[in-house]
A = this chain, B = another copy of it.
Amino acid sequence: MTLNIGVIGTGAIGREHMRRITQVLSGARISAVTDVNRAAAESAIAPLGLEAEIFLTGPDLIASPSVDAVLVTSFGAAHEPDVLAAVKAGKPVFCEKPLATTAQGCRNIVEAEVAGGRRLVQVGFMRRYDAGYRMLRKIIAEDGIGAPLMVHAAHRNPGVGTNYVTEMAIHDTLIHEIDVLRWLLDDDYKTVQVVYPRRSPNAHENLRDPQIVLIETAKGVRIDVEIFVNCVYGYDIQCEVVGETGLAKLPEPMSIQTRSKARLSNEILTDWKDRFIDAYDVELRDFIEAASKGTAAGPSSWDGYAAAVAADACVEAQKSGQIVPVTMPEKPAFYNF
């Protein structure tokens, strides 16, 4: 009854999921691992006391009868072939974002999955599992504020390194809003535009920061997302939905209110890893539950594909300054679950 999971890629996020599956969640165990660096694989299983087999390659691991389901936590460029292999082997697979590094790569996975006739892929968009976003979606679904008309969002980091370039504001940062807002609104994107405020002096010289992304959805909802990765003061995720009759706002992370030194204040997180930490548990629990039944739930490969298409349009809009259409084929009925 215990699900045997094979892990492809034993870097930081892979190890974190291995720990989670081993020490926190019920219903699954790590039965197999692989990494391009065998020593890394060994050092990942040792501290957890795992009796897991080490495979040479992803395909070998996927093919093994000791593996019921697969976690792809390798570097992004390596995701596509292993996800495809898992899909073709009929094994549920959880893939950290990005599903693939190109929209076409995501499309290939979608097509393989549709051909197989069964949902097998969950993409690691963990925000859908955050308690706050779930409450927000529930209020919208229960008509607490009328139909959504606008979304005002912000994604702020205290700072980034010099390796963070302008496009990464889309692929590494906005990508989370791209997915979670589609899901929150149950909608698709129609056009995107990017405008640049005055550059913050805290951004390194080759980075446009902040940026504002303006999105129009198929239903006509207008979204503005402020991306500000050198905001200095903290890691801060804001989301406010304006509906026909009211507003609903994503909760702040829980913290202690203090009165001290002439300030009434609450802490703001500074490390992104703390912000959605509980969501990772829920996300993997969802994967274990569905995979134990031979399928997948949560963010699908179609969602991964949609995010890739929207992100490509945003990057084009960054460069052109124009309003750029987001063009998607019709969603296969398969994904209307």
Contacts and interface: CB of A to CB of B under 8 A. Distances in A.
Interface residues of A, number: 73
A199 B147 CA distance: 11
B233 A221 contact: no
Nearest to A223: B197
Total identical chains: 4
A222 B212 contact: yes
Contacts of A269: 262
Interface stretch (A17-25, A37-45, A93-101, A170-178): A17-25
15 contacts: A24-B26, A135-B255, A139-B258, A147-B198, A150-B226, A212-B222, A214-B214, A231-B242, A232-B244, A247-B259, A250-B256, A251-B256, A259-B268, A262-B267, A264-B265
Given A23-B26, A198-B219, A248-B256, 15 more contacts: A1-B49, A136-B256, A139-B256, A144-B260, A149-B200, A149-B228, A198-B220, A233-B261, A234-B262, A246-B261, A247-B259, A262-B269, A263-B268, A264-B265, A264-B268
Interface of A: 1, 21-27, 49, 131-132, 135-136, 139, 144-147, 149-150, 152, 195-202, 210, 212, 214, 216, 219-222, 224, 226, 228, 231-234, 236, 242, 244-252, 254-270, 285
